Amino acid sequence: MKVIFLNDVPGVGKRYDIKTVSDGYAANFLFPKNLALMANPQSLSKVEKMKKEWSEKQKISEEKINTSLVKLENFVLKIKEKANETGHLFAGIDEKRIAELLFKEGIQFPVNSIKIDHPIKALGEFEVSVEAGDKKGKLKLSVVAK
């Protein structure tokens, strides 16, 4: 059965791809979870319209990401956290916390675009990778004691 994917399905197809899958897979997995539509003339025209809207949203989103990456070039995010005498933080700083602090500074990034190996648990200067699609940037963090 030919289907049009409405979302990415790992190992099977990407959004708006038209692929042939088994009838059972489509009926029992893809259709109930609204991951795909049966490919017919009506759904093709509907998906073309959705594809145009999605590409416009992607362009706007990409422009926002580009402006945010430009803001990051000379920006140092200062974070004040409680720490003990040896400089160990009582609470680690993870991607979600960094995204929240950036948002307060007027720079928006999705949490999944901020890449750190493990939560930051010490005072000091750190460099965090920011990856949004094929664009990459670096964010400088300065963690100081409260």
User: Which domains, ranges and CATH numbers included, belong to the chain?
Assistant: 2-61 (3.40.5.10), 69-145 (3.10.430.100)
Cβ atoms 21, 3 nearer than 8 A: yes
Under DSSP, the state recorded for 113 is: G
Can you tell me the distance from the alpha carbon of 95 to that of 114, in angstroms, rounded to the nearest whole number? Answer: 6
Pairing between strand 135-145 and 76-81?
parallel
Question: Could you list the pLDDT tens digit for every one of the 146 residues in the chain?
Answer: 999 999 899 999 998 899 999 999 999 999 999 999 999 988 888 888 888 888 888 888 788 888 888 888 888 999 999 999 998 999 999 999 999 998 998 888 888 889 998 999 999 999 999 887 778 889 899 999 98
**CB within 8 Å of 63: residues ≥ 6 apart:** none
Pairing between strand 36-38 and 124-132?
unpaired
